[in-house]
Structure 1
Amino acid sequence: MRAFLFALLTLALLPIAALAQQVDRPNTILVLDASGSMWGQIDGINKIVIARNVIAELLADLPEDTSLGLTVYGHRERGSCTDIETIVSPAPFTRDRILQAVNTINPRGRTPMTDAVVAAAQSLRYTEEAATVILVSDGIENCNPDPCAMARALEEAGVNFTAHVVGFDVAAEPEARAQMQCIAENTGGLFLTADNAAELSSALQQVVQAPIAETVTLQAVVVPGNTPPTRPITWTLLTQDGTVLSDGTPGPAITAQLVPGAYVARATRLEPTGPAAYQTAFTVVEGMAAPVLVPMPQIIDTVAVTFTARVEPDMTVPASPLRWTLFDASGATLLGPVDAPGGNVQLLPGDYRLSVERLSQGTVHEARFTVAAMTPQEVIIPLPALLVDVTFSARLDSADGVLITEPVIWEVTPMGDGGAIQPANPATVPLGRGAYRVTGYWTAQEVEQSADFVIVDQPREIVLVFEAPLPRATVTAPATAVAGSTIEVGWTGPNEQNDFIAVRAPDSEGFHRFVNSTRTDRGNPVQLLMPSEPGSYLVEYIRNDGRVALAAVPIEVTAVQASLTAPATAVAGSTIEVGWTGPDYQNDFISVRAPDSEGFHRFVNTIRTDRGNPARLQMPTEPGTYVIEYIEAQDRSPLAAVMIEISAVSASLTAPATAPAGATIEVGWTGPDYQNDFISVRAPDSEGFHRFVNTIRTDRGNPARLEMPSVPGTYVIEYIEAQDRSPLAAVMIEISAVSASVTAPATASIGSTIEVGWTGPDYNNDFIAIRAPDSEGFHRFEDSARTNRGNPARLEMPAEPGTYLIEYIEGQDRTPLAVAEITITQVEASLTAPANAMAGATIEVGWTGPGTDGDYIGIGRVGAQDGARWENYVWTREGNPARLEMPAEPGNYLITYFLSQDTTPLTSVPITITPVAASLTAPASAVAGQTIEVGWTGPDYPLDYIGIGRAGATDGAQWQNYTYTRDGSPLRLVVPTEPGDYVIRYFLNQEATSIAEVPLSVSAVAASITAPATAAAGSTVELGWTGPNYQSDFIGVGRAGATDGAQWERYTYTEAGNPLRLEMPDAPGQYVIRYFLGQGSTPIAEVPITLQ
């Protein structure tokens, strides 16, 4: 173990150079490590030699009267941890003795540096006076296992113990450095390192001259009186550059050990709004005694005050609304008025006045109180108990029902004491706070109701609900009636919505106890259906809730008679005549059923009695014994019955043994030929309602023509009795395959029409079709042609290139009988058109392409989809070049050649549509109805026009009147009859696009009429007039207040002259003569006239 230790212990942290000048400075001991590692070398020189030289230089710089001592360890024994000796005791003028001892010591032992520091500290009484250790070491402690613990113990036990450590030649020993640094940090000392003699000398100079810490007091004060703060304070101590030395130390004043230098003291006070920091910068100097003050402003703490009101004597919370106002001692308003049951405020210490207004009574109550610092309090204002008006009312059926008009006697019981109130409804009495019971006695009905209630501070209404008495009603009905008959029932009663008259058995109960019923709003008397079972019943007037009977009379229901006459036997499925007698009630019917059948659906066949007598009834298809019955419809009760025996029916079929698939054969038959009987063909194992492949009704003739299935195989032909689809006869038939072929070119261009030759059965609806190989379903075909249209068939090819299948399709179930493959190739097309054109112009477009019927050339916006790709178009069949009208809107467009099939585009060329110019020349104003001249320039496309409409009008309202540009320039335009602001526009006919406009102000046109005030009805009168006399203007006469065409029962055109003669209507009365503009029949002048 190699180690080098040099330690300097002192009782104060002052520079050693100053000790000679201070007679009260403590002694100093120099501790020298003389372990064996001192013989190690740095730059070829033994470490003990370097130590002797550095110590000699250090001693030479110290004053001669410096009190020093020397302690050495490891210099006498090898391997001993107790070889520690103080060679020179601390005293002045010891420099030479220390230097002589250092120069004569020879290193040889171990390194008990921890025990050496402890021994030196003890010899200097470190627990009584301040002490410092300066430690220089080149190795690790090898006697004491924990130098860090030793350092902490010395720091905790010492008055002011500090150890400075210099690591010499320890760069390669991280564990040694860690031990040395731990000793320095745990005692508040410095840790320095040195790798050669120069660095060792410098390090020793630093630690020998380490400053002495001063005890500094930091004190927080509240200005201006510099009093201690009452709120909690915590301290943060920082260096001048912001490094935190300590944080969170509590107290209004603390002390700190600080070496001379610049610092910042920061005091943080807990204030009502949160923590607030205050700080002071200060400098520590040697011998500093004055405290460092950190001033902070005074805090005036507010106090929480809660205010409320209570009602005497039990001090309960008032229910009536309150309004609060708070005043200070001078009477100034601090809060309010505020409507609230109470509140919370923060107030400064002092005197206050609080008032509360009881809004329902208008009374004001006050309280004065004093707020003391740091003392929350509650202010309670007592309120006197109140008498409030309580209204009692009695109503029918609900709290908002009808008010009872008869007298009601009221009795109020507060806490056992009763009090009577004068009979009235409603009745109002004053009551104070408390719990009550009120009883109301309805004198007219002699019933009473009660309710418990509580009164606080507010008036209230207590409603007692009485059940409304039942209204009076009567019913009048015959004493007896026949079962199932409909009788008349007279009645009196309230006839409320959904009231009804009902019949029921006397012992029936529940909502569904009624056999039959009729609403009273159906009339009086009402028609009521009697039960079908004889017996005693009640006829009742029932209220709309279905629960209460207001009136009832008994009725005796007697049995009804019926009889049947029918043959004893009949053939299965035949229709027989059944004679009957019976009531013939609505929906009664005659039926046939098996004797053991039951339930609602027990009948095989039925016929209503209102269909006639005798009734025609179809018999069952199965032979056997059956029952024919007269059924009363109300509850399907049988009134009469006879038995009938049903015998089997026979049938036969004659058909070929074989037939081609899909062929139509003749089938001879015998059988009953009942309505809807049919001949069918089906697979032998097929079942169910839809088991038949094809059918033909027997009423279509004999033999029947029956289409065979399209799939070869064995089938059954049957005679089917329609009633329940029972087979009466059957024969087998063998269906053989049918052959077909198609002949078509191997290739064709898209959209072209080709000829397809074919052979095949040519059944009805057979067709030749083309489809994609992977297409499926009913609509899988691109195009088709029926075989009955001729041979070869003409078939249009698809619009997409690729491989397709041409098939012969058997029409019955679309089965392919033959197929040929065809390749569809792309077709070339081209377009020649100008790069630019004016909006609305018609240009010539040259083209090449298939020219298939239905091909067309269209123009649409760039990027347009679907039908917008051809805003305008022209058929290719109209010639080449094609004449194509351009859109009215400028922009970038595409001219496209479209194949007719699927509107497939083959080629496109771009074109730019430029705006087309136009101008208008017209007067700025005109009279309503006037015809003006309008000059114009523009494209004059076919059907272009000049129109006039209201300013701001849209769509067709932009041209109330118009004239085509083909009429020349200037053209004549009729002005509308209504005055106002208008716009004259040039419209391209295409999409009515406006490309030029000028405003026009239209003023009213004047007119007058001179006519007699009266005239004889039917006479002719002379009228004078003034007015514009526009074409078709007229003067008419019509009833005063008449509208539309009734304003001119008789009229004469103004072109007839002035004055003109007008024939009066034939009927006397009040009329009006009016001047009408011919345009819109607009009246612009009128005079009244009386016809006698």
Structure 2
Amino acid sequence: MRSDFGVKRIFKTVVAGTMLASMTSSVFATESDAGQTLLVLDASGSMWGQIEGRSKIEIARSTIDDVSAVFDVDRAIGLMAYGHRNKGDCSDIELLLAPEQGAIGNVVSAVKAIRPKGKTPLTYAVVQAADILASQTRPATVILVTDGVETCGKDPCAVARSLEQKGVDFTAHVIGFGLDAEEGKQVACVAEATGGQFFLAEDGQGLAESLRRVAQEKPEPESETIPSATLNGPEADPVIGSAFNVRWTGPDGKQDYVDIVPKGYRETYGELSYAWVRSGQPGTIKAPGDPGEYELRYVWQGKNKKHVLAREALHVRDSDVALIAPKEANAGAMFAVQWRGPGGKGDYIDLVDSGVTETAGELAYAYVERHDRESQDRVTLQAPRSAGQYDIRYIMEAPDGRKRLVAEPITILAAKASLAVEDRIRAGAEFPVYWTGPGAPQDYIDLVPQGYTDTAGELSYFYTKSAPESGSLRAPAKPGNYTVRYILQASDGREVLTRQDILVEDVEARLTLAQSVSMGAALEVSWNGPDGKGDYIDLVPAGYSDTSGELSYFYTRSAPEKGALKVPGKPGNYQVRYVMEGATGRRVVASESITVEKASATLEFPAEVPVGERFSVTWSGPSAQGDYVDLVPAGYGETFGELSYFYTASAPGAGMLQAPDSAGEYRIRYILEAADGRVVLIQKAVRVVTN
């Protein structure tokens, strides 16, 4: 039984159709009658995944360059890529080079410039692609190199059948790069439906051999002798959704399988259930969820295509109590179970170790009670994290206790995940991580120190559910060796599925500023540095080591290349610092010393002023932002609650104050607005008198 993850992988191949949806007929104009070839390169983020220590995109670049001489110079060739410009964009498809004679060198150069980034956009353009291809008078050949990760998803096999039914003169050769046999089987349907060939390329050598095979205008199929096979199905008709055993004789090829299809079905893809021959006899197959007439088939993978070697009729009967569930599921995956049964209050479907008879201690369960008439007879369970044999059961809550009505086996496969991330990351930087895996509701990707084994206490993380296909982590501020991990949260706990080591590299920053400045002034600071999210420039006392409690600061992203700091109101030695924000906290990456010098001010005004009248005050001083001249009662020590004031910036050289209505002794002051508060630079007495 195919997992949801596998089905998604199939759909990637439909890019052979999707890419053509954006072309006009002029793209296909050529000077040669030999037809045209369009190389379609998967440039989604998963191409950063590694094979034997090298990223798949790096292998693809060098391999395409190495085999470029094999392509016929008289045949027009072009290049299309997808997922190379934007993250999370299902419309990111670009025809980089229209097919043109002698253009293989341009194709090689363009491939070298591609940097994988985003999603795999295969969803909405396929039907349009069929229409465009049908309008062309020349045959078109597509060579699709895909690593099998699809994230914009429909069923590519259905699209392939649609292309075939429309009679599109279009051949797709599909190269599954880095796919396993299970994934490769499901990708092959596009090539099969369009008369092309499918190849599994495990590494660079396999990719090169596959490209050489399809570089010819019409690759010559290898001659082969068709072997024979027999099938021996179940003695009794199986019940809907039940598992049954099948035996066979045949060539037992590595890619051979036994499947079940509707009666008369002729395609070698789109089967309802199957079992690999290589897994040994007897094979276990799941009956469909609908009663009726079906066929068992032995499918042999020949050198050029698949062949059905044997068929056997199969009748699937109905039942009042049944469970229709997948034959297999990946560890940690969510999977649906259809059920038939009483549906009483307290009834539930559970998952237990194979052979368990107790009606307690289940690994996962879901109640079947319908909440309304629209509720479907379907529940969702989560697989455990350990691979092995398990049972899915219908448990009825009866007056005399719980009873097991039916049980069906399920094989939980070891969960697979992959991570694609650049191996060198700048300290403090946010960086993308491309992933494949179960994608269970609580799965997450994290960053930990290299060698860290706990599944808690991570430095940075994101949930896969919130970041389909790719998400971002924040590198720590401290350089060193770290590990990115995929954490599976299954029904019975967490497990690290895969990991990739990265090197967090140190960063540099530079600060340019005056060596001394007057207290309270605005200090201009020019800077150069990583400019990460949350990075800032601050001012602190000399020798201060904390990365909080600063006297003044500005964020680098709010002040590109240059910003201003407010200087404190106390003379002395200080430091201006570049502070980087990382996953583990802040770190000072650059520092410059500065001396804050004492500021002075003068005030000139009449010694006596009448009550209630306005009078002029001549002043000199720093005139920093926020500085002001005020009037307060004699002996008043606060720097607020003044009786009258004016800002120096609004009254250059002189300003007006108003005398209070009560006669007496007062003070006129120059107030400096500094980074660490207000400072009285000078104060002088004034007498307010009655007229």
Q: TM-score interval w.r.t. the shorter chain?
A: 0.3 to 0.5
Q: TM-score by structure 1 length?
A: 0.29
Higher normalized strand content (fraction of residues): 1
Find the structure with the greater CA-based Rg: 1
Q: TM-score by structure 2 length?
A: 0.45
Return the structure number with greater relative CO, CA threshold 8 A, min gap 6. Answer: 2
